[in-house]
Amino acid sequence: MELKTRSKRSSMDCSIDVFYEQKNGFPKYLNDRETYKMVLVSSGSFVVEEDGGYKMMSAPVGIVLNEKADFRLVTESNIKCDTICFKPTFIREEFTFEAIGSGRYEKFFSAVKDDGKMGYLEKTEAAAFGDVKFEDCFAGSVYQDYLLLSQFNSGDRNIRYWSLITQEYEVLNRFFKSVKYDIEKQPDNYWILRVRYFINSILFTATADFYRGFRQYELYRDRFVAKVAMYLYENIGDDITIASLTKRFSVNKNALNDAFYKETSMSCMAYLEDMRMTLAKRCLQSSDLTVSEISDLCGYRDHNYFSKVFKKHTGMSATEYQKHVKGMC
């Protein structure tokens, strides 16, 4: 399958290395070796195998895959997603896979600031790259453009997943749908420029780092724990008790907690509480919901109890935390 788009306009005899598809279920080309892929999952849930364990995901989810990705789907349910495939040369002509793999654009990782402090790496690590001036890296447009692709190439992960709260999903969905519209309609001779702009905007959103550290990053070795954890995430706002869980999964309390202690070092209900607090913190940072609305969203109908639990986890009230994190933005 050729993952590119040809111009439909008579005045433009060309094609671009960008392909867009919206469908039920995951596309078959996520392990394509010639493109980067960005996937926005709008509904459903799925489990993937990774490093000998299982990762559970429930929409909305963002996924990025590089050309080396091995996406191993174990199961999926009611998946609807939008996928953008593109070659990095679409962002900048010199960004071939060979050039990116050579490491020539990574010198900013060892950049030295005017005060002599390292930009990212420790001095011992930076020595392997050679000391370079901080301003020579970040002021150069080539390195700025490369930073946009860092989610595809940083570290040893060929696939990255993000759990999204509603507001984060809506931001990304607008950009995805804008790419879809310009690729399908091509209303004028500037459609390619807009496609590049919207893809850059999606990449910038990923590097903005406002959806990090949610429980769906975890890799589970025990498929049973992954199954229960997915249920907890999908029903996080409901009244969940240990009794309702043991009944639903036909397991006794001790066996359920033993499995969670082995996998997560905490009991099942403590795990749920931690998951809810993580969601609460992200909502307080990234949404305009009130504390009471966030309490309900996280499954706490008693707002005073929610406040006590939140303060136990963070050392401050939800209102104080909201002011603190938004004051940092």
Domain boundaries, the chain: 5-89+150-215, 99-145, 220-327
Q: Is residue 112 predicted with pLDDT exceeding 50?
A: no
- Sorted by sequence, the CB contacts under 8 Å of residue 200 that are 6+ apart come out as 91, 148
Tell me which CATH homologous superfamily contains domain 5-89+150-215: Regulatory protein AraC (2.60.120.280)
- Strands 111-112 and 36-50: what pairing? unpaired
**Binning pLDDT at 50, 70 and 90, where does residue 174 land?**
very high
Fold of 220-327: Arc Repressor Mutant, subunit A (1.10.10)
Q: Is the pLDDT of residue 111 over 90?
A: no
Query: What type of residue sits at position 273?
Result: E
Higher per-residue pLDDT: 30 or 108: 30
Q: What's the DSSP call for residue 238?
A: S
Q: Is 46 left (phi over 0), alpha (psi -120 to 50) or beta?
A: beta
Give 263's contacts (C-beta < 8 A, 6+ positions apart): 220, 221, 222, 225
Tell me what the pLDDT averaged over the chain comes to.
84
Mean pLDDT throughout 229-243? 89
Question: What's the sign of the alpha-carbon dihedral 129, 135, 138, 141?
Answer: negative
pLDDT of res. 173? 94
Helix/strand/coil percent split, the chain, to 5: 45, 20, 35
For residue 197, pLDDT over 60 is answered with yes
User: What does the pLDDT read at residue 126?
Assistant: 41
Highest average pLDDT, of 51-60, 78-87, 201-210, comes from: 78-87
Q: Over pLDDT 70: what percentage of the chain?
A: 83
